[in-house]
């Protein structure tokens, strides 16, 4: 079991040698209960994940958006030379209004969707995509009436004709002020 001082990375207060020093069994501990005697509401379970500060449970994170994005960045690193994960695919991103992916974009951003909760860093919810795909998905799915995380991301290969038609529609401004109703009308044709 790791001591309270080490759980807060105050190894000098632990003692000599520290309970986290090499050869100590406490370093292999995965889950640690931290009890704050002066503030019982601050009790939390901390999950050790290797180097650096341990992960806190989601309920005890101060800034969930920032924390979730940082965790996603470590779990799903961007390779700036790799193609966008939605490249040459349709039905990308999930939600009420999935999009047609780009023709030749590269990974630039980490996207959470269809569940926009940044603490939800599961493989089907985090995507490494280009700016174009990222902006287009949010264009169609950011309003509260359009947001539906229950519709999953299930991309399929798109034909070149579909991708080129989508690009021409964007260039022509066809998607300005597009609503969910209008989106369905276009897809039913």
pLDDT tens column, 17-33:
676 665 554 444 444 44
**All residues at 6 or more sequence positions from 39 whose CB lies less than 8 Å from its CB, including other chains:** none
Instruction: Say what the pTM is.
Output: 0.64
pLDDT in tens, 138-178: 888 877 777 777 888 889 999 999 999 999 988 887 876 66
Q: Which residue has the tokens 């999950």?
A: 47
- pLDDT of the residue at 186: 57
Whole-angstrom Cα distance, residue 81 to residue 110?
Answer: 15
Q: What is the pLDDT confidence band of residue 8, given thresholds at 50, 70 and 90?
A: low
Per DSSP, 173 falls in state T
- Domains of the chain by residue range: 4-60, 89-177
- pLDDT-above-90 percentage for the chain: 29
Tokens of 5: 């001082």
- pLDDT-above-70 percentage for the chain: 66
């Amino acid at each position: 079991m790791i001591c309270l001082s080490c759980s807060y990375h105050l190894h000098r207060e632990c003692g000599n040698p520290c309970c986290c020093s090499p050869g100590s069994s406490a370093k292999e501990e995965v889950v640690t209960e931290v009890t704050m005697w002066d503030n019982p509401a601050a009790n939390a379970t901390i999950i050790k994940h290797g180097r650096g500060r341990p992960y806190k449970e989601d309920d005890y994170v101060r800034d969930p958006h920032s924390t979730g994005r940082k965790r996603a960045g470590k779990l799903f690193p961007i390779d700036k030379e790799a193609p966008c994960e939605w490249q040459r695919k349709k039905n990308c991103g999930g939600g009420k209004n999935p999009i047609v992916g780009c023709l030749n974009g590269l990974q630039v951003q980490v996207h959470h969707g269809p569940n926009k909760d940044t603490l939800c860093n599961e493989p089907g919810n985090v995507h490494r995509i280009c700016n174009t795909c990222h902006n287009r998905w949010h264009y169609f799915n950011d309003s509260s009436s359009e947001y539906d995380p229950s519709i999953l991301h299930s991309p399929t290969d798109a034909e070149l004709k579909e991708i080129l038609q989508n690009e021409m529609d964007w260039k022509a401004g066809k998607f300005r002020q597009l609503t969910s109703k209008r989106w369905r009308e276009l897809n039913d044709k």
